[in-house]
Amino acid sequence: MALYVQKYGGTSVGSVERIEAVADKVKGFREQGHDVVVVVSAMSGETNRLIALANEIQSRPDPREMDTLVSTGEQVTIALLSMALKARGLEARSYTGSQVRILTDRVHTKARIQDIETGRMREDLDQGRVVVVAGFQGVDPDGNITTLGRGGSDTTGVALAAALKADECQIYTDVDGVYTTDPRVVEGARRLEKITFEEMLEMASLGSKVLQIRAVEFAGKYKVPLRVLSSFKDGPGTLITIEDDAAVEKPVISGIAFNRDEAKLTVVGVPDIPGVASRILGPISQANIEVDMIVQNIAADKTTDFTFTVHRNDYDKAQQVLQQVKEELGAREVVGNNKIAKVSIVGVGMRSHAGVASKMFDALAAENINIQMISTSEIKVSVVLAEKYLELAVRALHSAFDLDESDTVRE
Amino acid sequence: MALYVQKYGGTSVGSVERIEAVADKVKGFREQGHDVVVVVSAMSGETNRLIALANEIQSRPDPREMDTLVSTGEQVTIALLSMALKARGLEARSYTGSQVRILTDRVHTKARIQDIETGRMREDLDQGRVVVVAGFQGVDPDGNITTLGRGGSDTTGVALAAALKADECQIYTDVDGVYTTDPRVVEGARRLEKITFEEMLEMASLGSKVLQIRAVEFAGKYKVPLRVLSSFKDGPGTLITIEDDAAVEKPVISGIAFNRDEAKLTVVGVPDIPGVASRILGPISQANIEVDMIVQNIAADKTTDFTFTVHRNDYDKAQQVLQQVKEELGAREVVGNNKIAKVSIVGVGMRSHAGVASKMFDALAAENINIQMISTSEIKVSVVLAEKYLELAVRALHSAFDLDESDTVRE
């Protein structure tokens, strides 16, 4: 007799047949005596269809009207799913974000949830109804429709679970859990039974995009147990939890994340004077370019090489900015490389284990892979290497840290 | 410097190009210094698409969820039209029925408007904004989304015009006004400059479906000047007004309406005793069949023939019901005919003119057209005749009452 908030994404409600499959799944939980609040996305393709219409009309569509437009996508799904539940003999009631009410700030297309009224949902649950809520949307203090930005349905699910003090927030998606690394790269990649919020954040931001990062942060902050499961096959999925006492028993690392989205830029031969970093990164930031890794080395000749990575889409723009910066600083040259990849090992276990980084570097060296940059945090070590070595590096590390399926299964 | 409420139907906003054409039209009114509130329908085809999805899921879709579903259609249009207005440098703001707020009763899919809050719209108009409102929808006292039933966007337009005390409610459609009769039947059919609400009601209910009948009733009740115009070509359209002092100057009749939707049934040889009508029509009504014209004649043999018309779709069902009724009443037989048509002459002028009906019958007799049934009201005379004579009858009457284009144009 638990209360579950279940979120089904666009693919899971992408057709009438799939909406009916979701209704069957919800019915199963109701028959076990559980209370269920369902959060749904727009049917897959619908949001893009609406955005395309807007772009035909206005090159930069008005944000308020954009929210009014795209929020119809989830509204269609809540109505159809409620009908499917009723067709199965369940009581159900749909709510838009504005009806619930999910109160947000006024930042159209990127609103943040400020409060959720739970009165109507509680009443429905008490009456034995399934509550069906439109994800991704809310209402601002003036009654304007807002959206949380794309993928925000995960956040809606977590926020509702927190507000209702649900036993679990279940995110149904097209993968059956969080893996040690991408199974398309490493055949022996394993589904994790559990992962901590911190690890999940590092995995998500590093490219294992199972969950929206804001949803994970939110769940961690409000201590909402979060579970990632498949909409299409049964299974326990992966539970994302607060680090527990058993953490010391955990393996050193939980997974290998990677991405190919970045490019590297180096300003070579910068005079080694105070304020150099801000004089380089200030103009980059003003050009709305986000920077990820930053490394600075001092050379023997009192000059320094300053290297950082940006999203590959910003590579050309960043080079233009740096040409100007080079002149101003009297630096020698600007060099760059957009054929790089970033590979990271992630795990709360590394906190209590020395030598994790050197084990990583050894494993890469054994494959003759040259490391171009290194960056570390408490629970991860990232390296930049040539893109062509990516798969080899991931497989080598997966094996070096005993993550392969043939190794002891972690429970 | 007038305030216009303009309503554009589904065909007028059926594509991005058409939405942009509407925006151009609205811009023209703004440039002349007028204030404009626009009411829009869903893009043509969209409501049917949504209903089809619902019918795939539930054979009789839940009415509350149906309203939540189909109301998205207009919501998409208000957002796109507001973007198109902004792209043209106008200030604009969209509102759903729930945002305005258009308050209705709780009857899902057939709700009636109870009140409209005008505060936000007034404020927008004062700021020089075009207000764009979703037609066809409202919100009930509990915050549930309701719809006014199909075609209800006309009613939204009239209700907003009444609430805002607008100078005119303009209904843009795919015809350029109200005609003396269907131009496809009579080549000389003329657009009317003016028509009274009462005449319009008779014309609409008799098959000249330019406007929703409820919208016309509403406009008459609240004395909102209503104008029917074309979205696609410029022109003054037809103004629907309260009968004015100049009515005595009016021609005897304003137009010829007709339909082919009906079928006729006669119970022959019914004993002429009190209560016969209710014993025949009671079971018909219980079978949810609506009756239009009713005629009863007494024969020489103390029996009566009871004749009425129903919608052609109900013809078979009505015959089955009458077989049972015939047995119970001891009537002789049931005969029917679904190859009939109804033709009506409509005009407030006939109140002050004698002999209108006989002029009508003479004109039909001159063409050897047999009249099967007659029904009259203060401002119309309707006859039922064999369907094959329909076009001939309409042309004969159009000419007999001097409605042809070659006759003096009525202003």
Nearest CA of chain B to the CA of A103: how many Å?
15
**A54 vs B contacts (CB less than 8 Å):** 79-80, 83
CA distance B355 to A154: 75
CA distance B13 to B17: 8
CA distance A375 to A373: 7
Nearest CA of chain B to the CA of A141: how many Å?
12
Q: Do A57 and B94 touch (CB under 8 A)?
A: no
How high is the ipTM of this complex? 0.80
* Contact present, B72 and B127 (Cβ < 8 Å): no
Q: What percentage of chain A carries pLDDT values higher than 90? A: 65
Contacts of A116 (CB under 8 A, 6+ apart): A100, A101, A102, A103, A159, A160, A163
Helix (H, G, I), strand (E, B) or coil at B287: coil
Q: Is CATH 3.30.2130.10 correct for B246-411? A: yes
Q: Is B109 on the interface with A (CB under 8 A)?
A: no
Burial A286-315 (b: 16+ CB within 10 A, else e): eeebebbbebeeeeeeebbbbbbbbbbebb
Q: Do A82 and B96 touch (CB under 8 A)?
A: no
Supply the pLDDT for residue A151.
59
Q: Is B269 on the interface with A (CB under 8 A)?
A: no
CA distance A6 to A389: 39
Residue pLDDT tens, chain B, 411 long = 899 999 999 999 999 999 999 999 999 999 999 999 999 999 999 999 999 999 999 999 999 999 999 999 999 999 999 999 999 999 999 999 999 999 999 999 989 999 999 999 999 999 999 999 999 999 999 999 999 975 589 999 999 999 999 999 999 988 888 889 988 889 889 999 999 888 888 887 665 567 777 888 889 889 999 999 999 888 999 999 876 655 445 678 889 999 898 999 999 999 888 788 888 999 998 888 888 888 887 767 788 888 999 999 999 999 999 999 999 999 999 999 999 999 999 998 887 777 888 899 999 999 999 999 988 888 889 999 999 999 999 999 999 999 987 654 443
Residues of chain A where predicted confidence (pLDDT) is lower than 50: 247-248, 408-411
Give the pLDDT confidence of A350-388 residue by residue, as tens digits.
877 778 888 999 999 999 999 999 888 888 899 999 999
Q: Is A21 on the interface with B (CB under 8 A)?
A: no
CA distance A252 to A46: 43
Residue A275, phi then psi, degrees to nearest 5: 90, 5
Domain boundaries, chain A: 3-174
Residue whose C-alpha is closest to residue B404's, from B101, B179, B242: B179
pTM equals 0.81
Q: Is B43 on the interface with A (CB under 8 A)?
A: no
With CA atoms as reference, the chain A residue closest to B23 would be: A57
| Facing residue for A58 by CB, picked from B53, B68, B87 | B87
- Assign domain A3-174 to a CATH class: alpha beta
Neighbours of A227 (CB within 10 A): 19
Q: Do A54 and B79 touch (CB under 8 A)?
A: yes
